[in-house]
Structure 1
Amino acid sequence: MKNRDDSDAPDDRHEPRTHRRKRDLPFPYNQDLSGILPHLNRRTVWGRARLANHRVTASLLAAGMRLLEQHFGPCAERPVTSKSLLLGPLSQRSVAEAFGHNPAPFDRHGDGAGLLRDRWTPYSNFVVDLINFAVWKENYRPEFRTHRDANTRRLVHGCDGRDFVRAVHDIAHRHTTEGMDLPSVRLGLALMTVADADEEIARITSGIYAAYLGSWKELYAAVLRERGLRLRPGLTLDDLADALSAANDGVTLRALGDPASGVVDDARRRSLTGTITLAVIHAFLEPADEASGLSLEQAVATRFGGRARSSAGQ
């Protein structure tokens, strides 16, 4: 029977209080996970929410996250190679073994494989929920929001154009290098290559971008408003966000796959992401009070057409 009755949900009332309090787990495992784990093996919303916020469930996720770090992190102990399957490191046996070696205060007692089967049937549902958890915004570095606020102040209220350019380069370099170091980002980039063959992975990928780009679009809108800029006709804020996101993804992949390429320069705190960002800003945006009214295509055609006529007249 795939979905257990909610009356069979784990009962931890008789366990030592010091061992059963989920709020004693580190952030973000101590947070409400009911909206992050939709595939738990319970019939009702109440049953799934209760199981999502059980400390054993959080401990199983912690085991899976350690495996992600070991196999997908920048200093992976056992990196995924051409000889191993992409998600091979997340087999039920591997997660169950990792659960048994959980550090305190996570739970590590009991039959890990049995606990997994109780919560996720089929096991692939655990992998999907683990990916959901891994790419959850609360799993990004704690200083992320602080950096975002500082970036907003620099881009929106910077003193002059030169400071704006420096801010773009600094932010782009930080964003790219942090992404390279996060196992969840590295896994997300790898999963994109198989998303078209897996509806669930495609849904997760789409959800990641919806949340990720939403916050960036708020920043871009503030920059346009406060800096007196406007998008060229035919372009939208979605186009701007997608273009800059694609640039960052591409540079991140290139830097990971070809470290000697030089697309990220840590010594100068520069990256190709910053250069592309400035190019997109220059091409997509115009001063609102001096707008030409030309679309991007018209502006490019005019520039090259003008050069051609000038050359012909010489």
Structure 2
Amino acid sequence: MTYGKKDLPFPYDQDFSGIVTRVKGIREATRVALVNSTKVASYLKAGANLIEQHFGSDDNAAPADGGRKPYWSGIRFLTERALSREMENLEPPFLRQKGDGPYRSTWASHDDYLNDLLAFLFHDMNYDPQYSAEVETRGGWLRTDGAFGDVLDGAIYDELLVMCRMPLFRLQLLMVATAHRNDGIHAAISSNYEGALAPWKKIYESTIAGRGFQLRKGVTLDDFADTLAAITEGFAIRNLGDPTAGIIGDDPRGHLAGMAVIGILNSYLEPINDPNGLSLREEFEQKSAAARPADRTEDCGD
């Protein structure tokens, strides 16, 4: 049975125009057709499989060539040889290819392929399939049963667990640390953030209003979303680097990450029916002045 592009699972059935930009072809029409071919999608799938095998959870991680740990060699496990082996084992509806001939006829160099692969992986179309966001995390914010603090604890707990097992998150950490300022990786990661945060902003906006709050003066929805993303990613990095630190723990209630998020909400939000109209800095300065001990003048004798 012959499969076409439309038979592939999401996101491999999507339009790769503007994402895959380095395929070979003398004529423009040839390159355009190749970009959205089953062949290119299959090579991207093979590369994604290798990424998942090496950057997935510890239980699923595969050793790199020669038994070396992945962090010794970055993404050097994505060799042409490894890619060819993976292509031979792809399951339908993806296209199986043997040898390196089809690969070399599609990309002029291995670097060109890697750039296209990373641009595809970091595109926002890949965020939800890996994140399982709708099922495990975003829905938690919308719960109306129970205390708001308990709901937040559970949602952040689930979010951290998902993030820590995401191959894409681990790959992003590596790429951010090693990419040059002027290459295309930063633009691809920026696109990923933009696509990933857009639905979260809608969830935050709905949750804040539904719980009777509003953003404090001077705090925008973008500020709120970026702050929570930075906190969550920071705790995920700490947990990956030091699992014994108890950042997540075994109980979705009362963990450190949840405490940090509740602290942000306590500072960034104010009740709709009783706002004080102060910015975050004004609120802090007011409390700081009230907390400062009164100056005391003591008579000093000679």
Question: Equivalences for 1:1-314 in 2 at 5 Å?
Answer: 18-34=1-17, 36-42=19-25, 47-75=30-58, 76-78=61-63, 81=69, 84-112=72-100, 114-139=101-126, 140-141=129-130, 143-147=132-136, 150-151=139-140, 153-154=142-143, 158-159=144-145, 162-268=146-252, 271-309=255-293
Deviation string 1:105-145 (CA, Å, 9 cap, x unpaired) is: 43333333x33333333422321222233334554248533
- Does the 8 Å CA contact 2:217/2:278 hold for their aligned counterparts? yes
Tell me the TM-score normalised to structure 1 length.
0.80
Task: Name the structure, 1 or 2, with higher relative contact order (CA <8 Å, separation 6+).
Answer: 2
Superposed CA RMSD: 2.9
One-letter code aligned to 1:57: V
Distance 2:118 2:85 in 1: 19
Farther off after superposition, 60-69 or 41-50:
41-50
- Does the 8 Å CA contact 1:116/1:123 hold for their aligned counterparts? no
Question: Residues 271 and 124 of structure 1: is their aligned pair in 2 closer, same or farther, counting only changes over 3 Å?
Answer: farther
Question: Residues 310 and 78 of structure 1: is their aligned pair in 2 closer, same or farther, counting only changes over 3 Å?
Answer: farther
- Does the 8 Å CA contact 1:64/1:90 hold for their aligned counterparts? yes
Distance 1:264 1:74 in 2: 16
The count of residues paired between Structure 1 and Structure 2 equals: 290
Secondary structure at 1:193 match in 2: helix
Report deviation, 1:246: 0.4
Tell me the TM-score normalised to structure 2 length.
0.83
Report deviation, 1:188: 1.1
Question: Residues 144 and 232 of structure 1: is their aligned pair in 2 closer, same or farther, counting only changes over 3 Å?
Answer: closer
Deviation string 1:146-179 (CA, Å, 9 cap, x unpaired) is: 446633531xxx15xx532222111111111111
- Does the 8 Å CA contact 1:134/1:184 hold for their aligned counterparts? yes
Identity %: 29
- Does the 8 Å CA contact 2:201/2:225 hold for their aligned counterparts? yes
Deviation string 1:281-308 (CA, Å, 9 cap, x unpaired) is: 1011111332222221222222232122
Question: Residues 198 and 84 of structure 1: is their aligned pair in 2 closer, same or farther, counting only changes over 3 Å?
Answer: farther
Question: Residues 168 and 39 of structure 1: is their aligned pair in 2 closer, same or farther, counting only changes over 3 Å?
Answer: farther
- Does the 8 Å CA contact 1:34/1:48 hold for their aligned counterparts? no
Farther off after superposition, 184-193 or 20-29:
20-29
Distance 2:57 2:131 in 1: 19
- Does the 8 Å CA contact 2:22/2:112 hold for their aligned counterparts? yes
- Does the 8 Å CA contact 2:119/2:185 hold for their aligned counterparts? no
Question: Residues 228 and 35 of structure 1: is their aligned pair in 2 closer, same or farther, counting only changes over 3 Å?
Answer: farther
Distance 1:149 1:64 in 2: 29
Report deviation, 1:259: 0.8
One-letter code aligned to 1:59: S
Report deviation, 1:200: 0.6
One-letter code aligned to 1:52: V
- Does the 8 Å CA contact 1:173/1:270 hold for their aligned counterparts? no
One-letter code aligned to 2:56: G
- Does the 8 Å CA contact 1:233/1:295 hold for their aligned counterparts? yes
Secondary structure at 2:184 match in 1: helix
Question: Residues 268 and 219 of structure 1: is their aligned pair in 2 closer, same or farther, counting only changes over 3 Å?
Answer: closer
Report deviation, 1:88: 1.0
Distance 2:289 2:179 in 1: 41
Report deviation, 1:211: 1.0
Distance 1:275 1:167 in 2: 12
Question: Residues 123 and 227 of structure 1: is their aligned pair in 2 closer, same or farther, counting only changes over 3 Å?
Answer: same
One-letter code aligned to 1:265: G
Secondary structure at 1:264 match in 2: coil
Distance 1:312 1:90 in 2: 69
Question: Residues 61 and 82 of structure 1: is their aligned pair in 2 closer, same or farther, counting only changes over 3 Å?
Answer: closer
- Does the 8 Å CA contact 2:137/2:159 hold for their aligned counterparts? no
